[in-house]
Structure 1
């Protein structure tokens, strides 16, 4: 994971802010690609979770009582959005303030001191990486249904790193053997990103954007065009997620 992940998180937030700033009122109330949520709901979710980042980095625990709101994190997030809906202009202003507070908190945090996030303890730079993954995925949820171009950038390297790094966690969650996986991915500029041991028996190869989308559950593995080799490579691709755990 590159040292400038917080800078790249801020850059991704700025790109999303540029998209949101151009929306007309009807766009905000249009369905997003996140099931059951409007565009405004997606922005509200990002505001709520960016606020939670600042709170947890500053020592206020999880900031959001996840378990009180639902039996799963997804249920909790849906309940939080449903309880907090308001005018889209208010949502936009709230997110802009929250995303700045999030970045400021991450920059000021002790890089060696883990913080609590959802059910895990992770270091601030890993948390920044999960926030980058979250903003990128939800930006797709906003841009795609509105027909707005949102091309892949080299910032995806952080997200690809996260997906590969959390494969052991994904294996454990699903009861699969924790086996080494080598990823040979093609970056947006055509260069190669490699993660893991090249001698590993299990290999995933192909487009980095597709790999990140599979990890974000925005693309079915079978439709990704990614190639797998080895006894557990296809299973690794199936359980791949951009988890907030390393």
Structure 2
């Protein structure tokens, strides 16, 4: 099994898990609000479906994707939300069916990319493995939004390592999205996964370090948890700053996540 096969297998598992949660919902369930911004379950699935379609377009029709890049550049703060709103108009049963079709189309498109070829994206161009990993990250993150809104406990699996990997690789991008210079020097990252295995990135002798719970780190870099609410520690000025701005996704960071104590007060 190739690395791409492994990542696509995990992507399929993440998608199937979310599919199982939403496929049993009635109409009211699909309208459950999942974010402070007002995204419903329908918005969440619509967003994932739209991103799958955009990924396929990036692979198979670069001129058409370039037009999408222009639209995103012209409306950086509203482009994603507008796409989600449009997708949310599709009836749930139809949206679920088309999302499933889009997932299959994406897997086929990624497997057909010639070796060594990069795929254009809203951030830096990516290899098929990187794009598949990014899709795991997106599906994982939005699954948490849906699960928390529906009161579902998300299984803690080693698939979170893909999310952590994107988060580490996107460290420099996190600074750029804040208009900050990327600091010099490496950061060693050592995290413990849900199965007890050690996930590591960066040189062992780096002066600055990030350590802790790998699953929590994945929540942090998808901006689903405030850095004060995760079991992740930093040693060094730049490592500490990184934990406050880390993001694993392309585009603007959006609103900072609320602390859990603030979320509890907001829910009362």
TM-score, with length taken from structure 2: 0.84
Given the alignment, which residue of 81, 86, 90 partners 1:78? 81
Alignment of 1:157-196 (within 5 A): 157-173=161-177, 174-196=180-202
Aligned with 2:213 (options 202, 207, 211): 207
Contact 1:114–1:124 (CA under 8 A) maintained in structure 2: yes
Alpha-carbon distance in structure 1 between the residues aligned to 2:125 and 2:72: 20
More relative contact order in 1 or in 2 (CA 8 Å, sep 6+)? 1
**CA spacing shift, 1:130–1:46, aligned 2, 3 Å:** same
Determine if contact 2:3/2:129 at 8 Å carries over to the other structure.
Answer: no
Task: Kindly provide the CA deviation profile for residues 40-90 of structure 1, in whole angstroms up to 9, marking residues without a partner as x.
Answer: 111011111111111211134427624425755452011112234121111
Residue 151 of structure 1: which of 143, 150, 155 is its match?
155
Q: State the secondary structure of the residue aligned to 2:188.
A: strand
Q: Please tell me whether the aligned partners of residues 44 and 142 of structure 2 are also in contact (alpha carbons under 8 angstroms).
A: yes
Q: What is the SS of the residue equivalent to 2:155?
A: coil
Inter-CA distance 136–146: structure 2 relative to 1 (3 Å threshold): same
Unaligned runs of 5+ in 1: none
Question: Size of the alignment, in residue pairs?
Answer: 245
Question: Which of 44, 68, 80 is the matching residue for 2:71?
Answer: 68
Q: Deviations over 1:131-186 (max 9, x none)?
A: 11000000011111100121221111111111111213334442241320111101
Relative distance call for 1:108 and 1:74 in structure 2 (3 A) is: farther
Change (3 A) 1:135 1:182: same
CA shift at 1:24, angstroms? 2.2
Does structure 2 retain, via aligned residues, the 8 Å contact 1:202–1:228?
yes
Q: State the SS of the aligned residue for 1:121.
A: coil
Q: Could you say what secondary structure the match of 1:117 adopts?
A: coil
Q: SS state of the match for residue 178, structure 1?
A: coil
What root-mean-square deviation, in Å, do the aligned CA atoms of Structure 1 and Structure 2 show?
Answer: 2.2
Name the SS for the 1:205 alignment partner.
strand
Q: Is the alpha carbon distance of 1:242 and 1:170 closer, same or farther for their aligned partners in structure 2, counting shifts above 3 Å?
A: same
Q: Tell me, yes or no, if structure 1 residue 92 matches structure 2 residue 96.
A: yes
Match of 2:228 among 222, 229, 234: 222
2:237 partner SS: coil
Q: Deviations over 1:171-212 (max 9, x none)?
A: 444224132011110101122111111211111111111111
TM-score w.r.t. length of structure 1: 0.91
Q: Distance in 2 between matches of 1:205 and 1:24?
A: 42
Q: Which runs of 4+ in 1 moved over 3 A?
A: 69-74
